[in-house]
Structure 1
Amino acid sequence: MMLKLKLEALILTIEQLPTLSDISTETLALIEADDTSIDEMSRFIERDQALALQVLKYANSPFAGTTSAVSSIKHAVVIMGLNEVKTLLLALTLQHFFASSGRDKENRRHFWKHSLICSHVANYLARSFQLRADSTVFISALIHDIGKIVVDQYLHDEFIKVVEYIEKNHTTFNEAEKAILGLTHYQIGAKLLRQWSFPEQIISQVYHHHAPWLDQRYRQGATILYLANILTKMAGFSCLAGEKKLELAQFSTSKAMRFIRESGFPLNKELLARLLTDISHLLQDADDFF
């Protein structure tokens, strides 16, 4: 009964949260606009020294794949591409919105590392399969676990119980939160994103990122997100240190693998292993960015 009241209070809290546009109107306008130019984006970033430093740090990290130093914002925007810059801006905006306390700092660092890497992997997969994925896929990959942050921020004691359940039972976050909360992070995340008036495509992809076969409208994007999340965890970048690791052999023989092939992705065990090797190589120095 007490937990039910807490969950009802959580839903009410979500409904009363300020919108992101109240916090960073100009940033969101740039993220949402389809016609933002490289010059406009560069000028916006250059006005904020802290933001400029973060963008340059990212542009010189393994994520950007640069072979020489990037020293100007415009060069960084060109190298990264507008979609990746927009994703990074959204990540920094959300980090500021959900400011963590000292006790949460390590969990939050794991969370944002997993989320940003997942977005990067989604971008890599779209290129690898020569898909014309729009920016919603990369944004969805960045915020697919936003419901976990909400639980941590507003139901912290229950969040700790979920973490302890994972460590004790070596299970997934998904299974642990169902056991402890009776509610999932993707349900909570979708509720928040709808409250914030995010596009329906992003809401749907976030809601279905553990079961893309249930997404009737945006299946390709949800499948990219699902696969990116799996590969990110296989590469050693789970959202929480104690989460159960998914092994390649376990996934490559699963029903999910068959679904991915049936959805138009020419994926087999050998290609999956090669993708994982490539991703692990790309991310071998990723910790330096965080």
Structure 2
Amino acid sequence: MTPESLVRATENLFSLPDVVLRVNQLIDEPATRPADLAEVILCDPGLSARLLRVVNSAFYAQPKPVETVSQAIGLIGFQALRDLIMATAAVDLFKGLPPEKVNMEHFWLHGVACGIAARDLAARRGLRNGERLFLAGLLHGLGRLMFFSQCADAYREVLRLVEREQLDSVAAEERVFGFNHVELGAELLRAWRFPESIWKVVAARLDPALAGAYRAEAEILQVAERVARQVAATAIDTGEIASVDASDELKVLAERWSLEPDALLDLPGATSLRAFEVFEILLPGSTLVY
């Protein structure tokens, strides 16, 4: 088995809806207008309703209700539209996983926090088109969901190795499957026709040197993932994440960027506030309380 073969074998299970693929394609075309996107989105009543619900939520705090899809697109912009549509599509695809395999609220809170932290770090670094790192952060863990969904029995051996031999999950996955969830998730994003600037960054999260031209983005994602674990520790009381502290990584990054040593240390707090707002949009009615 390889990441490619597993993704091919689950193509029908984990394929994005045509409307999502078309919207993603249109956003990358310079001549696209809000009306063009609205025409496609209106073909999916559920997506249209969700977009209007989100734009009229407290997150955007509009003085009066937004009533049309075109208005909504004009309000939030193309990049935010892409983030919303891709995020909600991913949540919908994997929402059926049994809670005994994975706590989806914990999973998506971590993803949201990672995406927000990555986007914020990219902005502070002054990276061009750094907004795309929100999706890289949000979706960086999808390979783990694929393992839980399609290889549940084999993954029990991964968990056994983590518990009894004190291996980290990546090393245990490589021993059992020959590849890890990072590689698998990146392959899924590639199959979903994400640009290289996203799936290659996800693929190189553990070793940014492998990202080539996207090394800076991969380094940001690596640190953002640590920030996300620290954020999750403020909401989720588990021994696994309670001791996570991203301060050292943030200080190293600040030094590399020629900033003051403490310049990035406010990131976990700022990320936490935004993460719960976005999380509530993606999973309304969540039982997590901040």
Structures share fold, TM-score greater than 0.5:
yes
Partners of 2:127 and 2:96 lie apart in 1 by 36
- Residue of structure 1 equivalent to 2:248: 253
Query: Is the CA contact 2:110–2:232 (under 8 Å) kept in the aligned structure 1?
Result: no
Q: Does 1:71 align with 2:63?
A: no
Matched letter for residue 114 of structure 2: C
Where is the helix percentage greater, Structure 1 or Structure 2?
1
Matched letter for residue 217 of structure 1: A
**Which residues of 2 match residues 265-280 of structure 1 at below 5 A?**
266=259, 268=261, 270-280=262-272
1:180–1:13 distance in 2 versus 1, CA, 3 Å: closer
Deviation for aligned residue 1:85: 1.3
- Residue of structure 2 equivalent to 1:29: 22
Counterpart of 1:18 in 2: which secondary structure? coil
Q: CA RMSD in A?
A: 3.8
Counterpart of 1:215 in 2: which secondary structure? helix
Point out the more displaced range, 142-151 or 102-111. 102-111
Query: Is the CA contact 2:170–2:180 (under 8 Å) kept in the aligned structure 1?
Result: yes
- Residue of structure 1 equivalent to 2:117: 121
2:274 to 273, 279, 282: 282
Task: Give the unaligned 5+ runs of structure 2.
Answer: 284-290
- Residue of structure 1 equivalent to 2:82: 86
Percent of aligned positions with the same letter in both sequences? 22
Aligned length: 276
- Residue of structure 2 equivalent to 1:42: 38
- Residue of structure 1 equivalent to 2:153: 157
Partners of 2:65 and 2:128 lie apart in 1 by 27
Partners of 2:167 and 2:241 lie apart in 1 by 5
Partners of 1:60 and 1:164 lie apart in 2 by 46
Point out the more displaced range, 70-79 or 276-285. 70-79
1:229–1:28 distance in 2 versus 1, CA, 3 Å: same
Counterpart of 1:30 in 2: which secondary structure? helix
Question: Structure 2 length as normaliser, TM-score?
Answer: 0.74
Counterpart of 1:209 in 2: which secondary structure? coil
Matched letter for residue 216 of structure 2: Q
Q: Deviations over 1:243-271 (max 9, x none)?
A: 434633xx4335x8535643x37363x22
1:222–1:156 distance in 2 versus 1, CA, 3 Å: same
2:227 to 231, 243, 246: 231
**Which residues of 2 match residues 185-204 of structure 1 at below 5 A?**
185-204=181-200
Question: Structure 1 length as normaliser, TM-score?
Answer: 0.74
Partners of 2:65 and 2:163 lie apart in 1 by 41
1:116–1:190 distance in 2 versus 1, CA, 3 Å: same
Query: Is the CA contact 1:10–1:154 (under 8 Å) kept in the aligned structure 2?
Result: no
Partners of 1:135 and 1:31 lie apart in 2 by 15
